Amino acid sequence: MNIAIIGCGTMGMAYAGNLAAMPGVKVTGVVDINAGRAEKAAAVSGAKAYTDVDTLLQQEELETVAICLPTYLHKPFVLKLAEKGLHIICEKPAALTLEDALEMKAACEKHGVRLFIGHVVRFFPNYANAYRQAHSGVIGTAKMAHFKRYGSYPKGMDGWYSNHDQSGGVILDLMIHDIDFACWLFGEVESVFASVIKREEPEMEYAQVTLRFKSSAIANLTGYWGYPGPFTTQFEIAGDQGIIRFDSNQVQSLDIKLAAGPSGEQAAVQIPSSPSLHDPYYDEVQHFIKCIQDGSEPRVSAADACYAVEIALAAERSARTGQPVIMGGNAS
């Protein structure tokens, strides 16, 4: 499988490292408008570095492309690459609007290529375990849940994260992980209520969202860009016969403390990690590649990704109006 990576920021570099190590996969090209970043990804993956997609497409024989660009660029690149007959693995969120996300999905269907959106939380072993446990019956029927996802304020190229028109903000970019997981767990959403706090100096955005599902389950989600503590995820799923809890600050299977202080340099976008043979991004991309190869359905579909965007935008709307947003129609 020949694959190219477009966008060599934090996520593109993670893809480069993972794909380079994956059997049966060859990274043939990496693209970034910043030549230095493209070179770095090329060095990691053994691919050739490009600074524009057109040259990549002219020079390389590709089957699949991984899009690791800022959200506002997802749609134009997905449409362009689908037209070229390439399968697409695209970082989350799918797009900034539901219409754009649906258009991307439709374009891929029209051109007969697969579209996968990187809702990686479904591949995190702690979340996948919780999903299995919650559906195994050991906690009875899952009824309520809490999800928390806090990190530093992400620093993308030209500050694109802090531009709401480019990233969609903390709900669409960060909390969407938990929105997708909650919908995977509980199904279709009936209503959404949200509050958002956004400030400059120091830059922060914080959201609290309550989803009420058609199953009558309730979930409360909090997301925070600009959290002064370490990257933190927590969840609790309460059933009528049991509770499942996770706190990223209480699961260190390895702790190394060095006498000299930490070097101080912080990642542009924090990515959680826990000692494991492969990181969840590896498992996710490997799963998507397998789906391309054998035509099977992915753990998270393009329709699921569109739905997560729909719920995230409903939350934004609720935060603006101060009233709940009632969801209509079916999931996909």
Partner 1 sequence: MNKIKVGFISFAHMHAVSYLNSMQKREDVEVVGIADENAERVRPYSVERGIPYYANYDELLAQDLDAVVICSENARHAEITKRAAAAGKHVLCEKPLGLSESEMLDMIQTCKDNGVQLMTAFPCRFITSVRQAKEAIDAGQIGEILAMKGTNRGTMPGGWFIEREHSGGGAVLDHTVHVMDLMHWFTGSVAEEVYAHAETLFHETDIDDAGMVHVKFANGVVAVLDPSWSRNRTFPTWGDVTLEIIGTKGVINIDSFAQKNDVYSDITGKAAWSFWGDDMDEGLINSFVDSIRDGKPVAISGEDGYYSARVALAAYESASSKQTVRLK
Binding site for partner 1 (CB under 8 A): 139, 143-144, 146, 191, 193, 195, 197, 199, 206, 208, 210, 212, 216-218, 220, 222, 224, 227-229, 238-243, 322-324, 326
Query: Residue 52 or residue 240: which is nearer to partner 1 going by CB?
Result: 240
Do residues 212 and 129 touch, judged by C-beta distance below 8 A? Answer: no
The least CB distance from residue 182 to partner 1, in Å, is: 13
Query: Residue 139 or residue 312: which is nearer to partner 1 going by CB?
Result: 139
CA 238 to chain centroid, in Å, comes to 25
The least CB distance from residue 308 to partner 1, in Å, is: 20
Query: Residue 144 or residue 303: which is nearer to partner 1 going by CB?
Result: 144
The least CB distance from residue 144 to partner 1, in Å, is: 6
The least CB distance from residue 139 to partner 1, in Å, is: 8
Helix (H) / strand (E) element for 100: namely helix 98-110
The least CB distance from residue 245 to partner 1, in Å, is: 10
Query: Residue 85 or residue 230: which is nearer to partner 1 going by CB?
Result: 230
Query: Residue 110 or residue 320: which is nearer to partner 1 going by CB?
Result: 320
> Considering only CA atoms, which of 69, 121, 79 is closest in space to residue 99?
79
Query: Residue 61 or residue 201: which is nearer to partner 1 going by CB?
Result: 201
Euclidean distance between CA atoms 180 and 163, whole angstroms: 23
Do residues 17 and 23 touch, judged by C-beta distance below 8 A? Answer: no
First to last CA, the chain: 30
Query: What DSSP string describes 277-323?
Result: SS-HHHHHHHHHHHHHHH-PPPSS-HHHHHHHHHHHHHHHHHHHHSS
DSSP, collapsed to helix, strand or coil, labels residue 193 as strand
The least CB distance from residue 165 to partner 1, in Å, is: 23
Instruction: Tally the residues of the chain.
Output: 332
Provide the β-strand partners of residue 223: 149, 207
